[in-house]
Amino acid sequence: MKKEIKELIEISRFYGSDSRFVIAGGGNTSYKNAEKLWVKASGSSLSTITEEEFAVLDRAKLSLMSQKTYSNNPAEREEEVKNDLAEATINKGKRPSVETSMHNVINYAFVVHLHPTIVNGLMCAQNAEGDLKKLFGNRALYVEYTDPGYVLFKKVENSIIAYRTRYGEEPAVIWLQNHGIFVAGDTIEGVKALYAKILDTLSDNVILTLPAGVRATCPNTEIIIPGIRRILYNGSPKWLKVRKNELIKFYYDSIGHQSKIAKPFTPDAIVYCKSNYIFLNDEGPEAVLAQAAGVIPSFISNFGYQPKVLLIKEIGLVSVGDTEAQCDIILDVFEDAMKIAYLSESFGGAHPMTPSQIDFIDHWEVENYRRNVAG
């Protein structure tokens, strides 16, 4: 194994094993030389990644994609892009990350794209761009939210070209609204040092400290959760898991606070939790189950799928999945969204995705593929 691939695996696992930076199959990493690019295969987990879980691409073929004109129809365009990525992939059968082209145009050997909670506290906030410039200077490269895929790649590529022209250097950090951050360097030590500086700066400027501490299980949980499972039953049993802590209490205690987490902040949230959630605010087993019996069938009729996330007053955050592991991921991802909403108050308040942005992710084949891999 090449020394650089060992280093790529090392830094991937370093960040992938820490939920402050990435959850489940989120994020991606790469290494490139003049001829080839190694990038995380779609749906793989950074925390356990091996050499075999990187797609290897021919950079000459990959670079041709930047010059092509694709269909104006979003679905057709992304299918064409997917096919060209497959054509550029040397180890056939590996599906490269949809963000591969962005990795290719950043002129550093190593690129690490993550979704750190504290970064998205800023990137998913109303004052994202303004506060970014205050904290990191006017050279900070900020890219407004754009639908992932080829359109985002071209926007990032054009932003990099403009940055090179203006400042005469390569940007090592790219901030993406409602998405995350790209950090690059020619060594993994350089990448780690940049990330550490970024996180320290953000931590020093967060006004509100996240509520901490686990809360005791409510005795009514043993009545309410089996009741909700019965309401959800459609011929195949579902796993339900409950999590309860001070942060979750902050949101289940207040309908006003719930409005701040009613819509997703990032594409990853949609992949794992979908884009609509149920909040049950009645108290007592009979009242909660009566509310659930009305709300859940209506939810399924309106959205065409069962809820993955329920927030129940006094009970906690409840995930619904096909497996126990899937439930754990849903809990982790939605609790992260709560943290993002809370941290965003330091930067002007929460800025969720728009309905059209959500709709694109909900129906994008690439994200449905990732969702299936995660499942």
What per-residue confidence (pLDDT) applies to 24?
A: 84
How far is the C-alpha of 256 from the C-alpha of 141, rounded, in Å? Answer: 34
Report angle CA 369, 373, 375 to the nearest 5 degrees. 115
What per-residue confidence (pLDDT) applies to 365?
A: 56
Where residue 108 falls among pLDDT bands split at 50, 70, 90? very high
Show Cβ contacts of residue 307 under 8 Å, excluding neighbours closer than 6 positions. 274, 276, 277, 278, 296, 299, 300, 320
List the chain domain ranges.
3-204, 221-374
pLDDT digit string, tens, across residues 182-225: 999 999 999 999 999 999 999 999 999 999 999 999 999 999 99
Top-level class of domain 3-204: alpha beta
Does the pLDDT at position 13 exceed 60? yes
CA end-to-end span of the chain: 31
Mean pLDDT of 16-31: 92
What per-residue confidence (pLDDT) applies to 322?
A: 94
Q: Which 8-state DSSP code applies to residue 96?
A: B
Does the pLDDT at position 288 exceed 80? yes
Does the pLDDT at position 77 exceed 60? yes
Does the pLDDT at position 75 exceed 90? no
How far is the C-alpha of 369 from the C-alpha of 96, rounded, in Å? Answer: 12
pLDDT digit string, tens, across residues 318-341: 999 999 999 999 999 999 999 999
What per-residue confidence (pLDDT) applies to 366?
A: 53
Does the pLDDT at position 363 exceed 90? no
How far is the C-alpha of 272 from the C-alpha of 208, rounded, in Å? Answer: 27
Q: Give the mean pLDDT of the chain.
A: 94
What per-residue confidence (pLDDT) applies to 206?
A: 95
What single-letter amino acid sits at 203?
S
What per-residue confidence (pLDDT) applies to 373?
A: 53
Does the pLDDT at position 313 exceed 60? yes
pLDDT > 70 in the chain, percent: 97
Q: Which 8-state DSSP code applies to residue 351?
A: -
What per-residue confidence (pLDDT) applies to 127?
A: 98
Where residue 369 falls among pLDDT bands split at 50, 70, 90? very low
Q: Which two tokens mark 127? A: 């004052």
In CATH terms, are 3-204 and 221-374 the same topology? yes
Plot region of 25 (φ>0 → left; ψ -120 to 50 → alpha; else → beta): alpha
pLDDT > 90 in the chain, percent: 86
What is the residue-wise DSSP string for 127-158?
THHHHHHHHH-TT-EEE----TTHHHHHHHHH
What per-residue confidence (pLDDT) applies to 98?
A: 85
Plot region of 301 (φ>0 → left; ψ -120 to 50 → alpha; else → beta): alpha
Q: What's the order of all strands across the beta sheet hosting 309-312? A: 239-243, 316-321, 309-312, 278-280
Q: Which CATH superfamily is domain 221-374 in?
A: Class II aldolase/adducin N-terminal domain (3.40.225.10)
What per-residue confidence (pLDDT) applies to 371?
A: 47
Where residue 4 falls among pLDDT bands split at 50, 70, 90? very high
How far is the C-alpha of 245 from the C-alpha of 233, rounded, in Å? Answer: 27
Mean pLDDT of 68-86: 89
Largest CA distance in the chain: 66
How far is the C-alpha of 272 from the C-alpha of 336, rounded, in Å? Answer: 12
- Which range of 43-52, 172-181, 236-245 scores highest in mean pLDDT? It is 172-181
What per-residue confidence (pLDDT) applies to 372?
A: 52
What per-residue confidence (pLDDT) applies to 18?
A: 93
Mean pLDDT of 20-44: 93
| The residue to which tokens 């761009």 are assigned | 129
Parallel/antiparallel/unpaired status of strands 309-312 and 278-280: parallel
Burial of residue 155 (number of CB atoms within 10 Å: 0-12, 13-18, 19+): middle
Where residue 367 falls among pLDDT bands split at 50, 70, 90? very low
Per mean pLDDT, which range of 61-75, 176-190, 274-288, 303-317 is the poorest? 61-75
Q: Are 353 and 360 in contact (CB under 8 A)?
A: no
What per-residue confidence (pLDDT) applies to 1?
A: 75
Mean pLDDT of 124-128: 98
